[in-house]
Structure 1
Amino acid sequence: MHTPGESPSVALDGLELRVLHLPLVSPFTTSFGTETVREVIVLRTLGSGADGWGEIVTQNAPLYSSEYTQGAWDVTVRWLAPALLAAGTVSPPDVARILAPFVGHRMAKAGLELAVLDASLRTAGVSLARHLGAVRERVPSGVSVGIQADPAALVAAVGGYLAQGYERIKIKIAPGRDVAPTRAVREAFGDIPLQVDANSAYTLADAALLAELDRFDLLLLEQPLAEDDLVDHAQLARLVRTPVCLDESITSAKAAADAIDLGAAAIVNIKAGRVGGYLEAVRVHDVCRAAGVPVWCGGMLETGIGRAANAALAALPGFTLTGDVSASDRFYHRDIVTEPMTLTDGHVRVPSGPGIGVEVDEAAIDAVTVAREVIRR
């Protein structure tokens, strides 16, 4: 296991927050709705050293998570940012400790931690990948395909991504949009690496239906039941052959350990925003690796800021399954970084420059900013 090394403290004079509206290349539909524009908060540390960038991966409505843009903005402006600024000088590990008194709001906390990490590691001249313990210079890239109008449309969409070279396909499912679409993809493309994501759309009463997916030789069945249904997930895992993977249920290293002990998770999806930051994400990785449970890096339609950080995380040794670190043009015509992530031979490069290893394109970010606020000490 790797413990992230020392990182310099950052003198915080202020924090800049922006809400961005980025049009998506195509609508993205899941069991909880359709996005055509990605609403996201990005933030920047302001101080005497290098600025650092972070991303709060909430959505505009509390559908995937209890967190949402306006709530994250409010708690950050009113409580989290003032607490960090009051500390004056902070190191990346300090962020979680300083913000611990404020219950929940993991995505907001993760965005602040990433900004401090970026500033600290830029000052030290160390990449986030190296700091976290990455062992690869590039990682295999999978793609997440939203619910389509019908199986034929899904097959067409999947075919397009396979033609681009993506290593693994994930399709979203929901009641009534599950067995037939999965069958269509499997019959159209043979034994491609394929998995399905339910985003908590089912209950244990649907076990027989979910067991029908076993015939398609899937890599995994992701988060079929509700976030707090660990016991039911453990029971479902005994009723289906497809490995059950948990996403929304895994909110910390402790939650991961509990799920594994209960037999509720054969595989774990790690999202740094969902667990409160990249340092906690490493701890989740370590718990799973020690238990022999494979992990992969999930995505939240991140901009180039979060996408670069996810690539660094996905390069850790326990990430043995292909994740959702796709190329920027999977979602955006124009990303907000100067060198958007690209796909080469089914892989994306892990940034090796200081901090998150990418630079923000000021003109691009200005063009999609709909709200901005600077908070000073």
Structure 2
Amino acid sequence: MIIQDAELFLFELPFIQSYKTSYGKMNKKRSIIVKLLTLSLSGYGEASTLPFPFYLPEYTDTSYIVLKDLIIPQIIDQTINHPSEINQLLSHIKGYDFAKAAIETALWDLYSQQLNTPLWQLLGGKNKEIEIGGSVGIIQDINKLLETISLKLEQGYKRIKLKIKPGWDIQPLEIIRNQFPNIPLLADANSAYTLKDIDLLKTLDNFNLMMIEQPLGWDDIIDHAELQQQIKTPICLDESILSVEDMRKAIKLNACKIINLKPGRVGGLIEAKKIHDLCQKNNIGVWCGGMLESSIGAFFTLSLATLDNFIYPAALNTNDYLDSIVTYKCLAENGTLKVPNFLSDFKVDEDKLIRYTVTQYSTRIQR
């Protein structure tokens, strides 16, 4: 494949209702779509960063700058035979894994079209139905919180994830467990606690949680290992696993029992598959997390989730948006979803994409 041109769309897609976590509140998702063009094909990818550097240092506007100024110039007129080649081509750029993942996923789209082979099959997955879980932000109106959970359960979601933070943890979990004693439930702390909170974190063992996700520092492995020794609830690492090498260290230290694997966070599908395979060898359960992607980003994430060791329900946030940038939205039915064979099955609606775009770049215009 010779990459002849590229386009970037920095867009903002509005939510149906605000989404609040321990690190901020959002009314819309600011994200980036990459479009790569060969002589006969076009492929899409998504940089699903958040609009602020509270989850990881990389955020949407920095991803856009790195894509426009550093990554796109490296790949124009390059012959790329397989998506794995992009890792070496961009190895001199340190970090910016979401930006790299956007390019890699667009290459996977091109490669899949070129071979006329479903992406899940190229990754070594199985054409299975993916179970989907629902996520609930910080909703301090208890009645509204319970209504939101009830609605997600009625829609068939297979587990509920509750965002927590200091001061919003024990009380909502008690209320939820009293109302829904048997639902699969996990708590996501987004690095809001420290080992000084260990007594409180031990209390979470009382709620029969599937897991507690990233309770301690965003870049920590060592303290999580100490915490896991003292609590029964499985720790799930998220932000602190940026590579297969991070995963090796976490396994060596017994820092977790579960991993939330997001392709964008680790630089793309190739590194994500390496992490999946290492976890499988070491009996670490994996689930496919979400970064509030559009249907474009969700396609790649869920294609990855067809691999064997994704044993927990995946995240899917496309229901949370008022509109979509594809004609056929990626949606779960009764809490499950059969991953489409090709991204083109969704039919990217570029008129809508441009409607929601706030900044656009094209190499064709720059020539």
Indicate the residue corresponding to 1:98 in structure 2. 89
Matched-pair contact (CA < 8 Å) for 1:311–1:351:
no
| Corresponding letter in the other structure for 1:341 | C
Indicate the residue corresponding to 2:331 in structure 1. 342
TM normalised by structure 1 equals 0.94
State the Cα distance separating 1:209 from its structure 2 match.
Answer: 0.4
Q: Distance in 2 between matches of 1:184 and 1:49?
A: 56
Indicate the residue corresponding to 1:368 in structure 2. 356
Spell out, residue by residue over 1:283-303, the C-alpha distance to the aligned partner (whole angstroms, 9 max, x if none).
110000010111000000000
Q: Distance in 1 between matches of 2:101 and 2:50?
A: 15
Spell out, residue by residue over 1:208-257, the C-alpha distance to the aligned partner (whole angstroms, 9 max, x if none).
10111110100000000012221100000011110001000110111111
The reply to whether residue 280 of structure 1 matches residue 271 of structure 2 is yes
State the Cα distance separating 1:14 from its structure 2 match.
Answer: 1.2
5+ long unaligned stretches in structure 1? 1-9
1:263-342 paired onto structure 2 within 5 Å = 263-326=254-317, 328-329=318-319, 331-342=320-331
Indicate the residue corresponding to 1:138 in structure 2. 129
Matched-pair contact (CA < 8 Å) for 2:260–2:287:
yes
Q: Distance in 1 between matches of 2:50 and 2:171?
A: 29
Q: Partner of 2:42: helix, strand, or coil?
A: coil
State the Cα distance separating 1:86 from its structure 2 match.
Answer: 5.3
Q: Distance in 1 between matches of 2:176 and 2:132?
A: 19
Matched-pair contact (CA < 8 Å) for 2:14–2:321:
yes
Indicate the residue corresponding to 2:208 in structure 1. 217
5+ long unaligned stretches in structure 2? none
The reply to whether residue 11 of structure 1 matches residue 2 of structure 2 is yes
Matched-pair contact (CA < 8 Å) for 2:14–2:323:
no
**Deviating more after overlay: 98-107 vs 356-365:** 356-365
Q: Distance in 2 between matches of 1:183 and 1:157?
A: 16
The reply to whether residue 160 of structure 1 matches residue 148 of structure 2 is no
Matched-pair contact (CA < 8 Å) for 1:152–1:184:
no
Q: Distance in 2 between matches of 1:138 and 1:37?
A: 29
Q: Partner of 1:152: helix, strand, or coil?
A: helix
Spell out, residue by residue over 1:157-194, the C-alpha distance to the aligned partner (whole angstroms, 9 max, x if none).
11111111111100000000001111111111121000
RMSD (CA atoms): 1.4
TM normalised by structure 2 equals 0.96
Query: Runs of 4 or more off by more than 4 Å in structure 1?
Result: none
Q: 1:189 aligns with which of 180, 185, 188?
A: 180
Spell out, residue by residue over 1:135-167, the C-alpha distance to the aligned partner (whole angstroms, 9 max, x if none).
243200001111112333321211111111111
1:109-120 paired onto structure 2 within 5 Å = 109-120=100-111
* % same residue: 37
Q: Distance in 1 between matches of 2:99 and 2:331?
A: 27
Q: Partner of 1:141: helix, strand, or coil?
A: strand
State the Cα distance separating 1:57 from its structure 2 match.
Answer: 0.9
Matched-pair contact (CA < 8 Å) for 1:49–1:123:
no
State the Cα distance separating 1:342 from its structure 2 match.
Answer: 2.0
| Corresponding letter in the other structure for 2:262 | K
State the Cα distance separating 1:88 from its structure 2 match.
Answer: 4.0
1:243-254 paired onto structure 2 within 5 Å = 243-254=234-245
Q: Distance in 1 between matches of 2:152 and 2:287?
A: 19
Q: Partner of 1:268: helix, strand, or coil?
A: strand
Matched-pair contact (CA < 8 Å) for 1:308–1:357:
no
State the Cα distance separating 1:127 from its structure 2 match.
Answer: 1.3
Q: Distance in 1 between matches of 2:329 and 2:99?
A: 24
